Amino acid sequence: MNYKFIESDEELKSVCDDLLKEKIISVDLEADSMHCYKEKICLIQIATAKEAFLIDPFEIKEIPPFINVLENNDVIKVFHGADFDIRSLDRDYKARVNNLFDTEIACRFLGIKERGLAALLKKNFDVDLDKKFQKVDWARRPLKPEMIEYSVGDVAYLTKLHDIIRKKLVSNGRFSWAKEEFEILARVRYVNNHVLPLFTKFKGAGKLDNRSLAVLENLLHVRLKIAEKKDKPLFKIFSNLSLMIMANKKPVAIDQMIKIGAISKRQADMYGDLCLEAIGKAMDLEHKELPSYPKTRRPKKNIIVQERIERLKKMREKLSSSIGIEPGFLLNNAMIGSIAFENPSTSEDLLKIENIRHWQVDAIGEKIFSSLGFCAF
């Protein structure tokens, strides 16, 4: 597919004026999340059925023409796995995406298990998409020719893929189901994970005792400050596993850190003293000063609720096979728990449960009521 680099405000406005006349376009982004502390959009790819445009955001001062295209209700925007892209567009430009079509989500409604873009392009168009450039540093300039080829390939076939998948959704009576998910996805927003206390966003922190939690919090602050200063992603300073080992073992010497496998010799040379200081300060806290993990009050699962959960899970597994939608997407465990506890008897009651979709009520509502022992209304 032919492509054109957009590196000026004038070019962007001209291209976007033309894009507003299109019925459908494909969109993708490349970022530098694997290479820096504060990730950013490094390249924007847009394609029509005939041509691709590569927008260099580092050269563009006036981004609103592009935002206008994204927010236009008449132009279909086709993404593949749009969650990260939508959050990135919100973070960098406060942009919204209207009239979204996500080919990855659409595939879920068709029971397609291999939903990666490379697999879909190979199956539908016999095109090989080399994903080795997925994790390269897209902030570097100039872009290598093979990176440009890769970025164009990410959008070149998306509108054609949309046509194939949409047709199948319509023939299966599931287009409205997918459309509801697209609209929900379009409402996701960027969330800053660096809110205090930092351990609330750390997987596994809820299982730690209060002293270990204090150690973890101090170490998380050390990692954050180093990453920000060096402009490196957090995982390139310390892995989560390293921090968890130190929080649990609470080493008192650098040699001990290395011996227990918490950090490497190189990390110890650079950051060992900072870690020891952080651990020491946490160990010196009085008991009343220790942090505690916020506990979520969950309703107790009595025998009746547990029995409902089991019946709902059996129903889900059976329906998943018959209608060709993966169990976790058809009805996830959190929803099953809420349904079992609330015990809804009508569609209206079912829709009051958090995160339940209309398509789920339409597709399996009657089976849910039957599993709970009610007749559908």
- Topology match between the domains 2-185 and 198-289: no
Q: Residues of 53-77 as b/e, b for ≥16 C-beta within 10 angstroms? A: bbbbbeebeebebbbbbbebeebbb
Does this model's pTM top 0.85? My answer is yes
- The residues near 208 (Cβ < 8 Å, ≥ 6 apart) are 199, 216, 247, 248, 293
Q: Output the six-digit token pair for 201.
A: 């966003």
Looking at residue 377, what is its pLDDT?
A: 41
Looking at residue 376, what is its pLDDT?
A: 45
The domain ranges of the chain are 2-185, 198-289, 303-372
Looking at residue 130, what is its pLDDT?
A: 84
Task: Please tell me the distance from the alpha carbon of residue 255 to that of residue 244, in angstroms, as a whole number.
Answer: 17
Could you state, in chain order, the average pLDDT of each consecutive group of 10 residues for the chain (377 residues)?
A: 96 98 98 94 97 97 98 98 98 98 98 96 94 90 94 96 98 98 98 93 96 98 97 96 98 97 96 98 97 82 91 96 96 96 95 96 96 69
Superfamily of domain 303-372: HRDC domain (1.10.150.80)
Top-level CATH class of 2-185?
alpha beta
Looking at residue 299, what is its pLDDT?
A: 67
What kind of fold does domain 198-289 have according to CATH? DNA polymerase; domain 1 (1.10.150)
- The residues near 308 (Cβ < 8 Å, ≥ 6 apart) are 339, 340, 343, 371, 372
Task: Please tell me the distance from the alpha carbon of residue 32 to that of residue 331, in angstroms, as a whole number.
Answer: 34
User: Cα dihedral sign for 95, 96, 99, 103?
Assistant: positive
Task: Please tell me the distance from the alpha carbon of residue 244 to that of residue 216, in angstroms, as a whole number.
Answer: 7
Task: Please tell me the distance from the alpha carbon of residue 159 to that of residue 155, in angstroms, as a whole number.
Answer: 8
Helix axes 175-185, 158-171, angle to 10 degrees: 130
